[in-house]
Structure 1
Amino acid sequence: MFSFTKEEVDWAYEVWDQLVEGLTNSDNHKRSRYAQFLSHLAKSDPEKRILQDFPALWEVTKDKKFVTARHSLQSIWKVGLAGPEQKEMVINHLVNRFMNCLDEKNYTLVRFDIIQGLRNLYDEVKDEEIKLKALSLIEEVDDPKYQKKYAKVWKNL
């Protein structure tokens, strides 16, 4: 999906405002697509608009429709590819969410997606700090079953 955004594109700002506006669309499928698309385009954002628009994008990761929330959460790590500031912002949000999502429905899936997102970001940027943060989050998990499941994401380094 969105294979045309694997590299930076020069047309991101032609659709940017429409995507940001779409994050609150009444159709949850469209909200999900807009969020995913915006995450993919963040690396084509030399003006760093994503820093201002990130709160609206992050809200979709908490959507009332779990499938919408999950799809957007699974792609939000791509914002971290846009630069150091964006990477730090994404990591901080993911870590905070991991630590504070226990009262969310399906929190174990949310946590899995966060750990996977951190792994995806690590694989792209090779920042050891990301790996250390992810592993320390996994150590915080009380349930051995889920601790093992999350740790599997970081096997084969």
Structure 2
Amino acid sequence: MDRKIQSYFENLESKDKNVQYEAYKNILGATEEVVDWSYEVWDRLKEDLTHPDPHRRSRAAQFLSHLAISDPEKRMLKDFLALWEVTKDKKFVTARHSLQSVWKVGLAGPEQKEMVIHHLVERFHNCQNEKNYTLIRFDIIQGLKNLYDQVKDEEIKQKALDLIETEEDRKYQKKYKTIWR
């Protein structure tokens, strides 16, 4: 890992929220492409998925989701459930940020894509008893759209449209459909 990336991770611990946010944005930007340092931070990020600080949990989930494309050992296949748990975090903003980034795991390969789609579809069907379930459903549909836009797999589009059709509330069905226009 080069010194610049290392400094970003160090700056996540800064007392200055602006420095932390800059570091966060820079790490997300760096992980848009394949990187060669994913395993230098992987285990620490995995541990942070259960850290008492919700910001650390959220960042860890987002960074791991982004790093899935830089995971030639396919660690994500066994670590995904720990990441997925953060999408159900007791702090809703942490859960939501995690859910909004989890689709990126699907870019890592066919096994990861199927795993992510399966979990998103199951969650859509079974989240009615969760607080803010309409936002969760919106994020799931948006995640499927993001994944579709990257991989152009028509099955993803069809699954998302099928999910939308299962929404009984017309207002929300209409809202979810706007994502696919």
TM-score bracket for the superposition, by shorter chain length: over 0.9
C-alpha deviation, 1:127, in angstroms: 0.2
1:73 maps to which residue? Answer: 99
1:84 maps to which residue? Answer: 110
Deviation by residue 1:88-116 (Cα, 9 ceiling, x = unmatched): 00000000000000000000000000000
Letter in 2 for 1:150: Y
Three-state SS of the structure 2 residue aligned to 1:48 is: coil
Q: Does 1:95 align with 2:121?
A: yes
Q: Does 1:6 align with 2:62?
A: no
C-alpha deviation, 1:59, in angstroms: 0.2
C-alpha deviation, 1:128, in angstroms: 0.2
RMSD of Structure 2 on Structure 1 (CA): 0.4
Deviation by residue 1:9-40 (Cα, 9 ceiling, x = unmatched): 00000000001000000000110000000000
Q: Does 1:125 align with 2:151?
A: yes
| Over 6 Å off, 4+ runs | none
Three-state SS of the structure 1 residue aligned to 2:90 is: coil
1:46 maps to which residue? Answer: 72
C-alpha deviation, 1:6, in angstroms: 1.1
Q: Does 1:31 align with 2:57?
A: yes
Unpaired segments ≥5 residues, structure 2: 1-24
2:47 maps to which residue? Answer: 21
C-alpha deviation, 1:44, in angstroms: 0.3
In the superposition, the TM-score normalised over structure 2's length comes to 0.85
1:153 maps to which residue? Answer: 179
Work out which of the residue numbers 133, 137, 141 in structure 2 matches 1:111: 137
Three-state SS of the structure 2 residue aligned to 1:10 is: coil
C-alpha deviation, 1:140, in angstroms: 0.3
1:138-149 equivalence runs, <5 A:
138-149=164-175
Unpaired segments ≥5 residues, structure 1: none
**Structure with the greater alpha carbon radius of gyration:** 2
2:89 maps to which residue? Answer: 63
C-alpha deviation, 1:119, in angstroms: 0.1
Structure with larger RCO (C-alpha < 8 A, sep 6+): 1
Q: Output the CA distance in 1 between the equivalents of 2:56 and 2:40.
A: 18
